[in-house]
């Protein structure tokens, strides 16, 4: 595999012609879709992000973590585009190594997750699916923003949306994830309004081959994917030809380590599939957090992300005593 290094002293302006790069700004600021009811400086460890849709307040990043995180990206990325239709930017790592362990443990401990169950129908046959990993999601699509009363309002007019505008209850990105979103936007020139988080508790947690090519993401979407915790293989393979024949383009395997970030853009989603396969024992059983930032353009994107990442799934929270995710109850010590 051939690759070439690129310097990022200036934010790139041509990563994806579909996106309008954000104006240069401070390392972190409040935005329409980010948590807006608390101070997001991260300077006070007693502060937390609050919202009516959160089951409990989510602590802000500890000052020692947020200060070092502000130095990200910690390395120059390399471009991987030596295969047909593939367009990747790979940071090894993006998050400074001295805080990857603390950041992983903090997010695993503070965030709430779901083991989502849903039904798919292929013809007359219905199949019940349990997502083979823990998931959670934050954000709101381009058509709306969170208003002063914490409810979604029209992004253009600022008027309150009808109660049935969404089939879900959108929630803003908390400070502990929004800082990383801002740093990612600054480094890539892309804009994101959604944060999806997966927790792979063991090597048996996985995600099958798929592509994030939904229409609500727009043309040639850019998706930034972070790894924290255990190293896991990330597999990519070109989609079959329109005639159904296997592609002759060579597949790719990337061993994503803690702190790494992979930006997938251009034709990658429309032409390639990617997966995190099952692995037996070893490092994979130590747990991995995957954070992805995306930009949903329409309301259908919001409903889709909450349906497949929250839905009616049971709520889970990390339990330090048992060292695993357990069902969360209000009587538990959060």
Q: What pLDDT does residue 127 have? A: 87
Q: What is the pTM of this model?
A: 0.86
The better pLDDT of the pair 21, 317 is held by 317
Q: Is 210 annotated as a binding residue?
A: yes
For 100, phi then psi, to 5°, come to -60, -40
Q: Is 299 annotated as a binding residue?
A: no
- Per-residue pLDDT tens digits for 8-20: 433 333 333 333 3
Mean pLDDT across 272-299: 97
Q: Is 292 annotated as a binding residue?
A: yes
- What is the C-alpha to C-alpha distance for residues 68 and 95, in angstroms, rounded to an integer? 9
3-state secondary structure of 109: helix
Q: Is 238 annotated as a binding residue?
A: no
Q: Is 294 annotated as a binding residue?
A: yes
Could you tell me the pLDDT band of residue 241, with boundaries at 50, 70 and 90? Answer: confident
Q: In CATH, what class is 58-319?
A: mainly beta
Q: Is 171 annotated as a binding residue?
A: no
Residue 194 near residue 143 (C-beta atoms within 8 A)? no
- Per-residue pLDDT tens digits for 283-296: 999 999 999 999 99
Q: Is 245 annotated as a binding residue?
A: no
Q: Provide the H-helix boundaries in the chain.
A: 63-69, 97-110, 175-188, 268-271, 299-309
- Per-residue pLDDT tens digits for 9-60: 333 333 333 333 434 334 443 443 544 343 333 345 469 999 999 999 999 9
- Looking at every residue in the chain, the average pLDDT score rounds to 87
């Amino acid at each position: 595999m051939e690759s070439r290094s690129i310097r990022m002293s200036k934010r790139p302006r041509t990563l994806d012609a579909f996106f309008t790069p954000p104006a240069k700004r401070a390392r972190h600021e409040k935005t329409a879709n980010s948590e807006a009811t608390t101070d997001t400086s991260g300077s006070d460890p007693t502060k937390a992000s609050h919202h009516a849709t959160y089951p409990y307040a989510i602590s802000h990043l500890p000052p020692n973590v947020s200060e070092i995180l502000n130095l990200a990206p910690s390395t120059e990325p390399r471009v991987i585009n030596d295969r047909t239709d593939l367009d990747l930017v790979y940071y090894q790592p993006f998050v400074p190594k001295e805080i990857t362990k603390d950041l992983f443990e903090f997010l695993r401990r503070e965030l709430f997750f779901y083991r989502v169950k849903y039904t798919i129908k292929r013809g007359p046959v219905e199949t019940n699916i349990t997502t083979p990993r823990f998931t959670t999601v934050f954000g709101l699509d381009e058509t709306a923003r969170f208003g002063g009363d914490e409810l979604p309002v029209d992004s253009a007019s600022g008027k309150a949306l009808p109660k049935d505008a969404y089939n879900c209850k959108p929630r803003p990105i908390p400070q502990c994830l929004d800082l990383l979103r801002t740093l990612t936007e600054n480094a890539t020139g892309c804009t994101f309004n959604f944060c999806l988080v997966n927790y792979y508790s063991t090597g048996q947690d996985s995600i099958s081959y798929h592509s994030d090519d939904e229409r609500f993401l727009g043309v040639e979407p850019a998706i930034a994917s972070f790894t924290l915790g255990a190293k896991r293989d990330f597999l990519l393979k070109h989609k079959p030809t329109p005639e159904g024949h296997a592609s002759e383009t060579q597949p790719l395997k990337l061993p994503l380590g803690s702190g790494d970030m992979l930006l997938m853009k251009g034709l990658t989603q429309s032409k390639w599939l990617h997966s995190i396969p099952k692995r037996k024992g070893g490092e994979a059983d130590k747990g991995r957090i995957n954070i992805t930032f995306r930009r949903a353009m329409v309301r259908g994107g919001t409903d889709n992300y909450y349906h497949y990442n929250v839905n009616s799934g049971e709520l889970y929270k990390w339990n330090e005593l048992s060292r695993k995710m357990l069902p969360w109850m209000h009587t538990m010590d959060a």
